[in-house]
Amino acid sequence: MKTSFEKIGDVIAAIGSDRFPQALSRAIQLVSPFDYCVIFGYYGTAQPLDLYDTFPASKRQIFVENYQAGPYLLDPFYLACTTRLASGLYRLKDIAPDRFLQGEYFRNYYVQTGLAEEIGYFVNLDDGVSIVVSLMCANKVFSAKDFRDLNQFLPVVKSSIEKNWPDLSARFEGKADANDQGKGTIRLERAFLKFGEDILTPREREIAVLIAQSHSSKEVAGRLNISIKTAENHRANLMRKLGVRDVAGLVRFVVRQGLVDPAAMEAILETYEKKVGPHLGARVVARAWADEGFRARLLSDANAAMAELGISGRQGEHVVAVANTDTTHNMVVCTLCSCYPWPLLGIPPAWYKSDAYRSRAVREPRKVLADFGVTLPEAQAVRVWDSTAEVRYLVVPMRPAGAEGWGEERLQKLVTRDSMIGTGLPRRAEDLA
């Protein structure tokens, strides 16, 4: 195995050649291991250039093609580049807005990546282009030592990138507006001006832009030097004027005004709202309740059984179905991060990702269940399943008494999200009678 100094030599030797991105990625990998690397070039409001990536074919659609189609416009890394964030190493969570996890970009796009953490080297070039070398981990976060080591490697990354891509702006072929450079919110502002100039006040337009980028009222207030109450009043007023009820509606409004390709963003929104979520998991469970043959196939090979219903994992993960019985109750956790069968269950709840749940679910599952209002007979053992990036678990709860002979559509109404995680039980049949 080559030493870090030998890898640096490989990077230097590869400058100016097609081998450079790979040599750089391999050198960084020696400093701190990661699962995926992608190098994007950003220039004004133009679509990012994929300069290099290590994604397998099954992942590239999500990480590159879907991203370039529109979601990048709400990506904190992209927004940081358009404001010319100083060259350096940054964690995504450190530059993201305070409501990033509740924002539309995260909920409707980023969750599809299944990443535990992403950090990036930012390098600003003299021609106005910003390069971001994104390092991604699926099952762990970068430790403080990892970050320190990677940060010490920054001079190598920065100087080699500057020498390898001295005139990258020419590759954008006029796609970016030179006047947009350094204006991270320009397309958002134009979107609201396009329709809102006669409806929204200048302050309301400012706030609309920040809300669309996932900033909370508190953060909006701090950025604009106004009170939180004032920010909330402006938020309520602008949403009323635009005829939208929530942030998703606000994002759709922006899409309609030309911020991103409507088809691209609407496809992402539709995927979350209609094509994935607990209703799909409920459909699988209901079929298992109603059809013993399907139940047997589901427990033997969940992916094959779900394919019968036209349902598949969208991240390439393998799904394992585990059934509750009179003697065993199953519960799912991810002790490393938040691996979760989101196509079947939707976005994981906040508590699923919390340190408290991840640690206590393993140590004291009965107490955790009690916290959720679930009390099991002492004779019923609790088995905890630990999800990974490769394997996700679906709990098949026991069919409630009194639901015998029900059709699948009616049975689906008894299935809850938490019952498919194992932290809850299905609804009672009498509740739907």
Domain residues of the chain, as ranges?
Answer: 4-68+77-180, 186-274, 276-431
Catalytically annotated residue among 25, 338, 387, 419: 338
Please give the Cα distance from 189 to 45 (Å, whole number).
12
pLDDT, residue 188, reads 44
Please give the Cα distance from 345 to 420 (Å, whole number).
8
Catalytically annotated residue among 337, 354, 387, 419: 337
pLDDT, residue 283, reads 94
Write the pLDDT tens digit of every residue in 334-359: 887 677 887 788 777 778 877 788 88
- For residue 271, the 8-state DSSP code is I
Provide the 10 A C-beta neighbour count for residue 203: 15
Please give the Cα distance from 217 to 235 (Å, whole number).
8
37 catalytic? Reply is no
216 catalytic? Reply is no
Residue with tokens 């009170």: 227
Instruction: Please answer whether residues 155 and 7 qualify as being in contact, where contact means their C-beta atoms are separated by less than 8 angstroms.
Output: no
Catalytically annotated residue among 87, 334, 387, 419: 334
Q: Is 109 exposed, middle or buried (0-12, 13-18, 19+ CB in 10 A)?
A: buried
338 catalytic? Reply is yes
- CATH fold of 4-68+77-180, please? Beta-Lactamase (3.30.450)
CATH no. for 276-431: 3.90.330.10
Cα–Cα distances in angstroms (integers) from residue 370 to residues 348, 364, 377, 396, 424, in the given order: 20, 10, 12, 20, 10
**∠ Cα 376 377 378 (to 5°):** 110
Higher pLDDT, 135 or 214: 135
- Tell me the three state secondary structure of residue 193: helix
Please give the Cα distance from 135 to 28 (Å, whole number).
9
Tally the residues of the chain. Answer: 433
Q: In one letter, which amino acid is 125?
A: L
pLDDT, residue 176, reads 47
Q: At residue 137, does pLDDT exceed 80? A: yes
Show Cβ contacts of residue 241 under 8 Å, excluding neighbours closer than 6 positions: 196, 199, 200, 204
pLDDT, residue 274, reads 57
Write the pLDDT tens digit of every residue in 241-294: 777 766 666 666 655 555 445 555 555 555 555 555 688 899 999 999 999 999
**∠ Cα 69 72 75 (to 5°):** 160
Please give the Cα distance from 87 to 158 (Å, whole number).
8
Please give the Cα distance from 152 to 414 (Å, whole number).
55
Provide the 10 A C-beta neighbour count for residue 272: 19
Q: Say what the pTM is.
A: 0.49
- CATH fold of 186-274, please? Arc Repressor Mutant, subunit A (1.10.10)
- For residue 110, the 8-state DSSP code is G
Percent of the chain residues topping a pLDDT of 70: 79
Catalytically annotated residue among 216, 339, 387, 419: 339
Instruction: Say yes or no: do domains 186-274 and 276-431 share a fold.
Output: no
Cα–Cα distances in angstroms (integers) from residue 100 to residues 113, 115, 210, 325, in the given order: 15, 14, 12, 39
Please give the Cα distance from 293 to 55 (Å, whole number).
38
Average pLDDT over residues 169-181: 58
Percent of the chain residues topping a pLDDT of 90: 43
Provide the pairing of β-strand 381-386 with 328-333: parallel
Residue with tokens 């394919």: 307
137 catalytic? Reply is no
